[in-house]
């Protein structure tokens, strides 16, 4: 099927995005219904390989920070059915199966949630690489996580649903303001060699190869003027924590949200249950490792073209601001999160002082969604009017090389168009691409011909989500693929121009959200694709994928008009539905057999603890307990660990495992006997870690508290606790 992006615009309907009988008041803000909600989605924190880096040996051993779903519900106060939900998950990406589970859950809830269907629910991920995998829909990402883990999948879906319910219950008449700020020190382009392949004239339009702009939305409740939430869009990978980190966290965006929400607790400007969403944007080539890539053996910069050291990828590792800490990237993650938080908080202050743009138009709450099969999709290019086609999905040789954020293995390198004979043999054992596919994907040398690999089920998507959202003059493009900087710039600029002409928005604000709804790897410009570094090799549908995505956005843009305009359009086709594999996905991680304490001990007994009684800020205090497998109970909305302070004879909780500086670690000591240990470590926060928290530490007596659940040989699960020795904190 050939799609002409202008064909919808030629239909008989008002081209003014407000409709013929309604004009937007852009000088003053309008009233929207806005609700915000947050819920715990922390899955199995041990024994499940992490999603993101594709390293089977990066298997969870504990928890540094709980992960969350943060939901934002928007509705037209004149007609609440004109509404949509935007969910930000602390996960590697959005996902077909996760979104399906959320949609099914909303229909099961029924009633007021029955209006939320395919067209008005968007689910994005922060793109962290430090959380349990096993929840993704397609086989390729499942391979690296040893298959599907129902426990983690259910935690994500149920937590997302709970966050949506909390958001809906908090709906209130509100104004929405938006502003932007540049953050110069929170990301770099990890593929500058590819970026330089873009036309010089195009590159000259921008100050750098890095997308440094943060866009922030603030939601202010009319009844009391309090801010109920903020939602930001900023481009930076969730790869501050390296692929040797095995503690669950939300990475830098999880830190940014944590700091903003923590700081809001004692600030009268913010409502109770304030929610800060730090959404992902043109993330494809944006790295948080801002010192750049260096060779681990020589200390010299990696090769600019191939990101190798002496021709190999393994020793090329990009460095975050605190790489010398030797903590697997933990302090760098906190720092990059802190930089995003500081910028967002500064921008919030500027917006509150009147520098922001108020969104206008109560009835301009709109969204659309459809599916598109990208295998051989023919269309007219929105860039040059040529007839183009996409390809069946494939990954190239440079995909195996990884990136400087997470190097690959074997002998793959970036900017490599030729796999060696061994990998050609491996490829042929899976599926040998035909001549048409080879020509279509050229110059990509195909490593995995994913579009033809459906045994035992689909390895990667051939059907992608096509979605966009509108709030007044703000448009949100929802992309299932990670978008490179220049790809995002082209996409946003094209949609902004079309929004002016098709929707009559005089000053449109366009942002990108990715990877969302599904995970379709990457999308680069055609020029970047030709270079075939990691991002180009991971652009599934060939060199015309970006043009196809933009074409589809333009084709359906009129569906973001106001209701009386949209009513005159043909019904939006649903498109072919992707498979949902949750009922038949492979799973190779065994369940918990049983737990037992070592002879002479009970669960929760203290085995050891740090020896001093007196501690200062910056010190570490720890205790090790007789433990049990935390997969027995994920303790959602609760905690495995607490720091308690004695206040007038009562032990009050002052830290939980949602706090960055309190770490929960689990170690199995004997598989056959079912024995294990848990260590709690509190890095007592100094002024650096107390950013925005005020006087959050006091002199006094403290202790560590462990909460666990054990499983006996009959399968019965029982709760227990362990309490560490008291210690004194000297301020």
The whole-angstrom separation of Cα 197 and Cα 523 is 15
User: What's the CA gap between 623 and 705, in Å, rounded?
Assistant: 9
Is pLDDT of 254 > 70?
yes
What is the reported pLDDT for 399?
Answer: 85
Contact 178, 359 (CB under 8 A): yes
**Average pLDDT, stretch 583-606?**
97
pLDDT given for residue 408 in this prediction: 56
On whether the CB atoms of residues 146 and 56 are closer than 8 A, the answer is yes
β-pairing, 641-647 vs 700-711, is: antiparallel
Tell me, rounded to whole angstroms, the distance of Cα 65 from its chain centroid.
15
Mean pLDDT on 281-297: 97
Q: How is 580-609 classified by DSSP, letter by letter? A: --TTT--B-S-------PPTT--TT-EEEE
User: What pLDDT sits at residue 312?
Assistant: 87
pLDDT digits (tens, 9 = 90+) for 107-132: 999 999 999 999 999 999 999 999 99
Whether the predicted pLDDT of 655 surpasses 50: yes
Q: Are 106 and 116 in contact (CB under 8 A)?
A: yes
Q: Please give the Cα distance from 397 to 534 (Å, whole number).
A: 8
Confidence (pLDDT) at 9: 33
Distance of CA 157 to the CA centre of its chain: 15
H or E segment at 509?
Answer: strand 509-513
Distance between CA atoms of residues 585 and 149, nearest Å: 9
pLDDT at residue 696, rounded to an integer: 77
Q: Is the confidence at residue 12, as pLDDT, over 50?
A: no
Q: Spell out the residues 6+ positions from residue 87 whose beta carbon is closer than 8 angstroms to its own.
A: 69, 70, 71, 72, 102, 121, 122, 123, 124, 160, 163, 164
Question: Tell me, what's the pLDDT at 363?
Answer: 60
Span 380-385, mean pLDDT? 97
Q: What is the pTM (predicted TM-score) of this model?
A: 0.94
- Cα distances from 597 to residues 329, 641, 720, in angstroms, run 34, 19, 12
Q: What is the mean pLDDT of residues 237-253?
A: 98
With beta carbons less than 8 A apart as the criterion, state whether 178 and 215 touch: yes
**Burial of 457 from C-beta contacts in 10 A (0-12 / 13-18 / 19+):** middle
Burial class (CB in 10 A: 0-12, 13-18, 19+), 451: buried
Q: Is 415 left (phi over 0), alpha (psi -120 to 50) or beta?
A: left
Residues in Cβ contact with 115 at an 8 Å cutoff, skipping those fewer than 6 apart:
80, 81, 83
Tell me the C-alpha to C-alpha distance, in Å, between residue 381 and each of 5, 20, 369, 377, 385. 8, 30, 21, 12, 5
Q: Check residue 27 and give its pLDDT.
A: 47
CA-CA distance, 95 to 86, in Å (whole number)?
14
Of the candidates 234, 135, 228, which has an alpha carbon nearest to the alpha carbon of residue 185? 234
Strand ranges inside 183-226, DSSP E: 188-189, 213-221
Q: Mind listing the pLDDT tens digit for each residue in 430-452?
A: 779 999 999 999 999 999 999 99
Neighbours of 301 (CB within 10 A): 13
- Identify the active-site residue in 232, 287, 363, 710: 287
Task: Please tell me what DSSP assigns to residue 726.
Answer: P
Residue 427 has pLDDT above 60, yes or no: no
| Tens of pLDDT, residues 656-673 | 999 999 999 999 999 999
Instruction: Tell me if 145 sits within 8 A of 196, measured CB to CB.
Output: no
Q: Which two tokens stand for residue 105?
A: 């859950």
Rounded Cα distance between 587 and 598, Å, is 30
- Count CB-CB contacts under 10 A for residue 15: 13
- The percent of residues above 70 in pLDDT, for the chain, comes to 92
The pLDDT assigned to 13 comes to: 29
Q: Residue 518 CA to chain centroid, in angstroms?
A: 11
**Is the pLDDT confidence value at 362 over 70?**
no
Catalytic status, residue 501 = no
Cβ atoms of 608 and 624 within 8 Å: the answer is yes
Q: How far apart are CA 654 and CA 705, in angstroms?
A: 11
Q: Residue 151 belongs to what H/E stretch?
A: helix 150-169
Query: Residue 508 corresponds to which tokens in the numbers above?
Result: 């449109």
pLDDT band at 313 (very low <50, low <70, confident <90, very high): confident
Per-residue model confidence (pLDDT) at position 404: 84
pLDDT at 279: 98
Length of the chain, in residues:
731
In this prediction, residue 311 has a pLDDT band, given cuts at 50, 70 and 90, of confident
On whether the CB atoms of residues 20 and 14 are closer than 8 A, the answer is yes
Buried-exposed string 524-554: b where 16+ CB fall within 10 A, e elsewhere:
bbbbbbbbbbbbbbbbbbbbbbbbbbbbbbb
pLDDT at residue number 418: 52
Scan for tokens 């997308």, then name that residue.
211
Distance (Å, rounded) from C-alpha 433 to C-alpha 393? Answer: 11
Cα of first residue to Cα of last residue in the chain, in angstroms, is: 70
H/E stretch holding 73: strand 68-76
Domains of the chain and any CATH numbers = 2-374+460-566 (no CATH), 606-729 (2.60.40.2300)
Which residue's entry shows tokens 């299932």? 480
- Any idea what DSSP says for residue 690? T
Average pLDDT, rounded, for the chain: 93
The pLDDT of residue 695: 64
pLDDT of 21 strictly over 80: no
State the binding site for Zn(2+).
127, 237, 482, 522
Q: What is the 3-state secondary structure (H, E, C) of 196-207?
A: CCCCHHHHCCCC
CA distance 186 to 287: 8
Does the bond joining 341 to the residue before it have cis omega, within 30 degrees of 0? no
Query: Among 190-199, 309-318, 664-673, where is mean pLDDT lowest?
Result: 309-318
How crowded is the C-beta side of 396, counted as CA atoms within 13 Å? 32
65-104 residue pLDDT tens: 999 999 999 999 999 999 999 999 999 999 999 999 999 9
Tokens at residue 635, please? 């303790």
DSSP 724: P
Q: Phi then psi for 89, rounded to 5 degrees?
A: -100, 140
Q: Are 663 and 639 in contact (CB under 8 A)?
A: no
Is 350 exposed, middle or buried (CB count within 10 Å of its CB: 0-12, 13-18, 19+)? middle
Q: What whole-number distance in Å separates Cα of residue 192 and Cα of residue 528?
A: 10
Residue 204 has pLDDT above 50, yes or no: yes
Longest CA–CA separation in the chain, Å: 82
- Three-state SS sequence of 330-343: HHHHHHHHHHHHHH
Enclosing H/E stretch for 665: strand 662-670
pLDDT band at 572 (very low <50, low <70, confident <90, very high): very high
- Helix/strand/coil for 420: coil
By DSSP bridging, strand 172-182 and strand 32-40 are antiparallel
Contact in structure between 482 and 127 (CB atoms under 8 Å): yes
Report the alpha-carbon distance of residue 159 to residue 659 in Å, rounded.
19
The confidence score (pLDDT) of residue 7 equals 35
β-sheet bridge partners, residue 279: 233
Q: What is the pLDDT of residues 692-718, one digit of tens each?
A: 786 678 999 999 999 999 999 999 999
Q: Cα–Cα distance between 6 and 19 in angstroms, integer?
A: 19
Strand partners, 681: 622, 663
User: Phi then psi for 670, rounded to 5 degrees?
Assistant: -155, 115
Q: What is the dihedral of CA 259, 265, 268, 270, to 10 degrees?
A: 60
Give the mean pLDDT of 262-274.
96
Going by the annotation, the residues of the binding site are: 127, 237, 482, 522
Model pLDDT, residue 428: 59
């Amino acid at each position: 099927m050939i799609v002409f992006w202008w064909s919808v615009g030629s239909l008989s309907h008002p081209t003014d995005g407000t409709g013929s009988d309604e004009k937007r008041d852009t000088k003053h803000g309008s009233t929207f219904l806005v609700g915000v909600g947050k819920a715990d989605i922390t899955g199995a924190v041990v024994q499940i390989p992490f999603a993101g880096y594709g390293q089977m040996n990066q298997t969870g051993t504990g928890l540094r920070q709980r992960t969350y779903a943060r939901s934002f519900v928007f509705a037209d106060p004149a007609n609440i059915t004109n509404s949509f939900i935007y969910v930000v998950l602390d996960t590697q990406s959005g996902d077909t199966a996760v979104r399906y589970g959320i949609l099914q859950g909303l229909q099961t809830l029924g009633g007021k949630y029955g209006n939320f269907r395919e067209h008005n629910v968007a689910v994005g991920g922060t793109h962290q690489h430090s959380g349990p995998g096993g929840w993704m829909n397609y086989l390729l990402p499942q391979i690296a996580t040893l298959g599907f883990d129902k426990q983690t999948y259910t935690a994500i879906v149920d937590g997302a649903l709970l966050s949506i319910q909390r958001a809906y219950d908090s709906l209130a008449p509100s104004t929405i303001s938006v502003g932007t700020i540049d953050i110069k020190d929170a990301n770099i382009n990890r593929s500058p060699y590819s970026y330089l392949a873009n036309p010089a004239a195009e590159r000259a339009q921008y100050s750098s190869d890095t997308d440094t702009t943060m866009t922030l939305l603030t939601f202010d409740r009319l009844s009391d003027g309090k801010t109920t939430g903020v939602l930001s869009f900023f481009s930076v990978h969730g790869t501050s924590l390296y692929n040797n980190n095995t503690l669950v966290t939300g990475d830098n965006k999880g830190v940014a949200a944590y700091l903003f929400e923590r700081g809001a607790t004692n600030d009268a400007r913010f409502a109770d249950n304030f929610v800060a969403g730090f959404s992902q944007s043109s993330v494809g080539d944006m790295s948080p490792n801002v010192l750049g890539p260096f060779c681990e053996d020589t200390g010299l910069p990696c090769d600019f073209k191939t990101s190798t050291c002496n021709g190999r990828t393994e020793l090329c590792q990009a460095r975050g601001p605190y790489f010398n800490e030797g903590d697997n990237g933990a302090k760098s993650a906190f720092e990059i999160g802190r930089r995003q938080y500081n910028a967002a908080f500064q921008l919030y202050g500027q917006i509150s002082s009147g520098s922001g743009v108020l969104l206008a138009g109560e009835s301009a709450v709109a969204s659309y969604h459809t599916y598109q099969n990208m295998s051989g999709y023919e269309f007219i290019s929105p860039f040059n009017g040529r007839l183009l086609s996409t390809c069946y999905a494939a990954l190239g040789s440079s995909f195996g090389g990884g990136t400087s954020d997470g190097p690959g293995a074997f002998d793959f390198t970036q900017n490599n168009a030729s796999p060696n004979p061994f990998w050609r043999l491996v490829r042929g054992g899976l599926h040998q691409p035909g001549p048409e596919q080879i020509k279509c994907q050229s110059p990509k040398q195909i490593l995995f011909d994913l579009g033809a690999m459906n045994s035992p089920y689909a390895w990667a998507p051939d059907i992608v989500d096509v979605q966009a959202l509108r709030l007044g003059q703000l448009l949100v493009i929802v992309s299932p693929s990670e978008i490179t900087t220049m790809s995002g710039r082209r996409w946003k600029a094209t949609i902004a121009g079309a929004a002016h002409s098709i929707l009559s928005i005089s000053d449109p604000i366009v942002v990108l959200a990715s990877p969302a709804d599904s995970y379709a790897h990457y999308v680069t410009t055609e020029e970047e694709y030709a270079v075939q570094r990691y991002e180009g090799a991971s652009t599934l549908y060939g060199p015309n994928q970006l043009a196809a995505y933009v074409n589809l956005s333009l084709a359906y843009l009129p569906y973001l008009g106001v209701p009386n305009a949209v009513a005159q359009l043909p019904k939006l086709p649903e498109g072919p539905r992707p498979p949902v594999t949750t009922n038949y996905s492979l799973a190779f991680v065994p369940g918990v057999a049983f737990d037992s304490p070592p002879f002479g001990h009970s669960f929760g007994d203290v085995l050891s603890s740090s020896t001093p009684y007196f501690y200062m800020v910056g010190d570490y205090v720890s205790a090790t307990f007789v433990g049990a497998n935390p997969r027995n109970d994920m303790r959602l909305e609760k905690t495995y660990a607490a720091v308690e302070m004695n206040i007038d004879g009562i032990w009050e909780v002052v830290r939980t495992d949602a706090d960055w500086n309190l770490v929960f670690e689990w170690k199995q000591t004997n598989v056959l006997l079912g024995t294990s240990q848990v260590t709690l470590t509190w890095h007592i926060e100094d002024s650096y870690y107390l950013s925005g928290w005020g006087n959050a530490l006091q002199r006094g007596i403290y202790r560590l508290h462990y909460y666990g659940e054990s499983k006996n040989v009959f399968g019965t699960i029982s709760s227990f606790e362990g309490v560490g020795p008291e210690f004194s904190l000297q301020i």
